[in-house]
Structure 1
């Protein structure tokens, strides 16, 4: 283990965090002011681009190649501006159009929150109706979803039997909105209570996007200051464990399994990139969508929560090296845990922002193993729910050895789609969704490489199933 006094030469640039806050505010502004385009059609030698508007004001778009292979892809976009998209990236769109696929997708309702789960699934099905009315019934329809759209996609995979033939999820937020807000709350709470005790930082029920941004900046400043001491680094590692934050950051070599100091250093790198700005901005959007706070920590046993984390050995080692009493910090967290949920918000999130209650079609989920925004552990949580519903034969999950959120190559995405088609066409997965088969398929495309690997995610560190006596606090 490296000495805990190893010098750190980098600190969080406040400009980087403020830039993240500015980006988030801009995204919010765009999302709330986007006006859907009127119905239109543009034809080129390569194909046709269609646009239209749904009854709730959502915009939809579609791209149909000149030589359509009969398969329509219904794409659900992630968290951000409620602007219609029909592919995960421009490069993926170009490749799939060249292979003959048609693509469509909606903005979701632009008049609400960027956490548009109140309308997303409905708008996707309405988009399917609008597009097929223009181009005719496809031979096959496959749903594809990315990030928050991966949650929408899982809902479509649950509800769309008879209309959708199969689904592909990319870096999907499949554990749902309440698990997301709960484990993020644990991390935010640990940072606030242990790094800036007595400051009264608001963690839930934000009145505005500015309130969320202020909390993000306060917490990020606290992390920046704490990184300069062994005690601060140990506490950052504790909060990172609650956040399910990977210990492998972009541009860095993957740390050794017991190099605890380097692991924390790379977790800090995620914080330095402004992750808390997006966490708090996302919380504000969820609260807008579900009508209140759907997260709680009253009754959470933080010692037990840490014990279930894959990062527990790292945290214990850093606390020992820093001469800190981990038990005392965990007891302090237990004593102060008093945040309760709003019952209506919990019910709304369960209704609109959950998945895993069953599958009506084959679903292949793909995830990077070091995802900072939607931890790969969400796949474990989702898979257990699908298995509990008795639908595990329909689900396959595959993993890419890379850092970052949704950082798939075009080849990895297209190969996953081909594996899903194998299951839909033949009625069996066979070995099409295995790491070796996906890697071979992606490499054979000759595009931009692939890194499919065998992998089993750890359990999601979340520590609760339902709130006890959820009342306003």
Structure 2
């Protein structure tokens, strides 16, 4: 009888080994290149001290320390970069870094050793940067890790490493559902689009190792989505694709009570989003040594039933006189894509949070995010809760549209909330919507829109059960 293995997307079976390796590399002097002072590095304040260097694996790092340093360090982790440029300092975070420096915080960051899906080394590179900072400037009194997008995932996983040297963390617009869930939700939507809009055609969806391999898929799906948006039946099927992609259903300026208006808006978002994520898929496949996504064994009727958008999809199908049950049955019966064993193992080892937080972490997210669905936060909260780390965890949301579309005030307020949590030893009210909004407003910067919000279910989480 074959042995059945169950692999949970949120489980890392080798966490102790990973933690030990990361901690060892972070404190090993041989991992560092001597960091010279560099007053011409760029985005610091006029009175700040700069240092740059190169880690043993080739990652560049940079640090800025203000003249009136308060002894606290923000260790920033950047998001996905397609390359080839890979600077240590992140342009998107630079305005927040400047404000933090003005307020007395030091800021440090690394490039990671590679572009693309850099999870193999990213956490280690961040901790090696911390060790380099200590060697150059001395030990900070407090270290708050912060990261955005892919860097939000990196930061969340750093927060799980015992004795890493960080004291607290802020994960912003993070891919905290993990790499496997990221691949699967994108694959579910691409698979549904191919099956329903290009029936009977052989459309490649996985295993891309370069952009040229996905170009045909992207072109065919773009054309199919554009054509579908022109008909009632097409928009109904795109509504199902949108639900599987976790495309937002509450959009500014869109009457959610008008199914056709909502479907048209979602169709445009799917057209803007799905080709982009397919084009980037090769980076993750190459990093993992295989594609970790799968459709085999997935029940798409059950998946839609868990979606907050199921009623909208049903209305669209009814108006189009289409059989939703038949389409869902087609998706389920034809679902045969299996993951690469090596790719899945790598992704579980490097890119899947366990929720076993060792330090306080505040996770923040915009309410409408096309590249990192806010539903990831529902999944991550469940992961942390199951790990028994809820007391260390808080979430906050801002009423903005767009991936990582945060103001400087919102970023600084979130970091200072974690700073206050570390100072007092308990969360109290520092991470509530009202307190974060007051804190951000008091900065007199570029405004804030913290909002009470509860994300819907992330429907694409699943187990992989090998067939043999």
In structure 2, the residue matched to 1:24 is: none
1:71-90 equivalences in 2 (<5 Å): 71-80=72-81, 81=83, 82-85=86-89, 88-90=92-94
- SS of corresponding position for 1:75: strand
Distance 1:266 1:448 in 2: 29
In structure 2, the residue matched to 1:258 is: 257
- Conserved? CA contact 2:179–2:347, under 8 Å: yes
Cα distance change of structure 1 residues 60 and 463 upon mapping to structure 2, 3 Å threshold: closer
What is the deviation of 1:423? Answer: 0.6
Structure-1-length-normalised TM-score: 0.87
Distance 2:330 2:174 in 1: 34
- Conserved? CA contact 2:148–2:171, under 8 Å: yes
Distance 1:166 1:50 in 2: 23
In structure 1, the residue matched to 2:268 is: 269
What is the deviation of 1:88? Answer: 4.7
In structure 2, the residue matched to 1:13 is: none
Q: Which runs of 5+ in 1 are unaligned?
A: 1-36
Cα distance per residue 1:203-262 (max 9 Å; x no partner)? 00013221123322221221111100001101111011001111355xx42x34433222
Structure 2 counterpart of 1:403, from 373, 392, 401: 401
Structure-2-length-normalised TM-score: 0.88
Cα distance change of structure 1 residues 38 and 272 upon mapping to structure 2, 3 Å threshold: farther
1:20-35 equivalences in 2 (<5 Å): none
- SS of corresponding position for 2:160: helix
Structure 1 range deviating more: 264-273 or 155-164: 264-273
In structure 1, the residue matched to 2:132 is: 130
Cα distance per residue 1:384-428 (max 9 Å; x no partner)? 111111000000000111111100111111111111111111001
- The structure 1 segments of at least 4 consecutive aligned residues displaced by more than 6 Å after TM superposition are none
What is the deviation of 1:42? Answer: 2.4
In structure 2, the residue matched to 1:56 is: 57
Structure 2 counterpart of 1:41, from 31, 34, 37: 37
Cα distance per residue 1:26-45 (max 9 Å; x no partner)? xxxxxxxxxxx995432374
What is the deviation of 1:162? Answer: 5.2
- Conserved? CA contact 1:300–1:463, under 8 Å: no
Cα distance change of structure 1 residues 99 and 213 upon mapping to structure 2, 3 Å threshold: farther
Cα distance change of structure 1 residues 212 and 327 upon mapping to structure 2, 3 Å threshold: same
RMSD over aligned Cα atoms: 1.8
Cα distance change of structure 1 residues 39 and 214 upon mapping to structure 2, 3 Å threshold: farther
In structure 2, the residue matched to 1:360 is: 358
Distance 1:267 1:191 in 2: 14
- SS of corresponding position for 1:60: strand
In structure 2, the residue matched to 1:302 is: 300
Distance 2:193 2:271 in 1: 14
Q: Which runs of 5+ in 2 are unaligned?
A: 1-32, 41-45
In structure 2, the residue matched to 1:67 is: 68
Distance 1:385 1:332 in 2: 31
Q: How many residues align?
A: 429
In structure 2, the residue matched to 1:423 is: 421
